[in-house]
Structure 1
């Protein structure tokens, strides 16, 4: 029984705010999580440094195995999730949803009434994560085309749908965690 508890604890990633020293590891994680869009290492460094309060990393055995970048949208009561990455060695643990719960329960996102993200139609993993999250918190999920293939991406990228999830009050979110 104790061995089972020890094994489970060893497979439970530790969540924390990123720091500038995490930039390269985050960049490598995203690069290894195809088909995620790769940003420059510098962009991930800036996210980990300047936006650390609205981003999260997950560590397991000393390695970064999870990452979510996000920010509060200026002049809106909305928290935007830019990117979610989970290492293959940490998949199946519910880590994506756990990291989302961590972020929406932070003081820095307490004014958010909605969580927003953009997803292409063919990204089944992301649709599954955000539908599961919406169900978990009791929020309504809606979507609409936002950044379109022709108008915004010059035909080089599929249309991104803006997904909006209503968030319950902070106290209800903490209970859902």
Structure 2
């Protein structure tokens, strides 16, 4: 498991973090930016399946949002991961992902992680393949949403990364 840098705290998000998560997503320049309202709702309704990294001032400097799939209650779908530019290269994203999944293996018995990644997003590809390697889990890839399914103009396909199985031993 990747430890968070000593000056950061991995925590659950609160509604008051919603604006900061929206700004982090916006500033990432790679994530699909959702409405600010959606980040507020996310911090209210999915705080238990998400995590934030807080700086010394308590403000979020990174986050991972996710939810447990209703039809697969042992599968965590990671929706977005973002880290403030000044914090990149310090292992924050890996620590967030490791901390969140360790918590959810213990609390909810999750056994798999899924995420989608657009081709060419090498930072996310590295994050999730290294996560699988650290935890001795298999990773498979398949196109989940072809580009033609997106109604709002040109969009790259979304490739599903399926990682598992996770166990209490491999998630820590």
**Fold equivalence (TM over 0.5):** yes
Would the alpha carbon gap of residues 153 and 165 (structure 1) be closer, same or farther in structure 2, given more than 3 Å must change?
farther
Q: 1:24 aligns with which of 19, 22, 39?
A: 19
Between 1 and 2, higher relative CO (CA 8 Å, sep ≥ 6) is seen in 2
Among candidates 36, 46, 54, match of residue 51 of structure 1: 46
Residue 67 in structure 1 maps to residue 63 in structure 2: yes
Q: Which has the higher helix share?
A: 1
Deviation at 1:113, TM superposition (A): 1.6
* Higher deviation after alignment, 121-130 or 108-117: 108-117
RMSD: 1.6
Moved more, 59-68 or 147-156: 147-156
Contact 1:104 1:110 in 2 (8 A): no
* Cα offset, 1:153, TM superposition: 4.3
Alignment map for 1:121-136 (pairs within 5 Å): 121-136=119-134
> Does the residue aligned with 1:115 lie in a helix, a strand or coil?
strand
Cα distance in 2 for residues equivalent to 1:107 and 1:161: 23
User: C-alpha distance in 2, partners of 1:155/1:38?
Assistant: 15
TM-score norm. by structure 2 comes to: 0.90
Runs of 5+ in structure 2 lacking a partner? none
Q: Distance in 2 between matches of 1:30 and 1:107?
A: 23
Indicate if the aligned counterparts of 2:110 and 2:166 stay in contact, CA closer than 8 A.
Answer: no
Superposition TM-score, scaled by structure 1 size: 0.87
Computing the radius of gyration from Cα coordinates, the structure with the larger value is: 1
Closer/same/farther in 2, CA of residues 95 and 24 from structure 1, 3 Å limit? same
CA distance in 2, matches of 1:131, 1:111: 21
Contact kept, 8 Å, 1:110 with 1:170, in 2: the verdict is no
Extract unaligned runs of 5+ from structure 1: 1-7
